[in-house]
Structure 1
């Protein structure tokens, strides 16, 4: 078996923690990723970071409300799930 990691990152305009968490939790599940754990932190006075530990690697979000954007990144060793995630994100 060949070791491969597929990486995707993108800046998005949404910075609301509850909207982001809900949206990406749904996309990860619909893509078929197995979520092992979830961790989040709300920064003061603003800002949010969330991390999904996946059986296939991880997904993270970092918001920058002062700049009205957030950074998302997915690393996966499963090309099929990775490609499905990107397809769902672009719908």
Structure 2
């Protein structure tokens, strides 16, 4: 049994200006997560000097994180979900299109293999 799905995405030859736009990046991530069936919990974004930014969107299903290197026109993204209903491909496609990525590498992983999984509330927001 798989406990979670973790997808690593490398986006190459991106639009450098978009890699330094925390507001735009936050907006596109929230829209992509919503379209993927994710449940927003909270987020944090930090812009570094002189380059790049990092952001994490916590969702009830786990998280989406991004780290950018505009000087290399590169972004690294992690999508981690304990819910098979989260459409990770929707996030991958929308984010890549917004970043203007010329190409991408996707490395999907199953996490927690061989862990006994009891019924869970994964994907349900507290409160």
Q: Is the structural similarity TM-score above 0.5?
A: yes
Higher RCO by CA contacts (8 Å cutoff, separation 6 or greater): 2
Instruction: Choose 1 or 2 for highest CA Rg.
Output: 2
Q: Deviation per CA, 1:39-61: give whole Å up to 9, x if none.
A: 01010112100001111111100
Report if the CA contact (8 A) 2:35-2:90 is conserved. no
Q: What is the RMSD computed on CA atoms of the aligned residues? A: 1.8
Matched, 1:46 2:45: no
Q: Which has the higher helix share?
A: 1
SS in 2 for 1:33: coil
> What is residue 55 of structure 1 aligned with on the other side?
60
Deviates more, 1:29-38 or 1:6-15: 6-15
Q: Which runs of 5+ in 1 are unaligned?
A: none
Report if the CA contact (8 A) 1:5-1:78 is conserved. yes
Aligned residues: 88
* TM-score where L is the length of structure 1: 0.83
* TM-score where L is the length of structure 2: 0.61
Q: Which runs of 5+ in 2 are unaligned?
A: 95-127
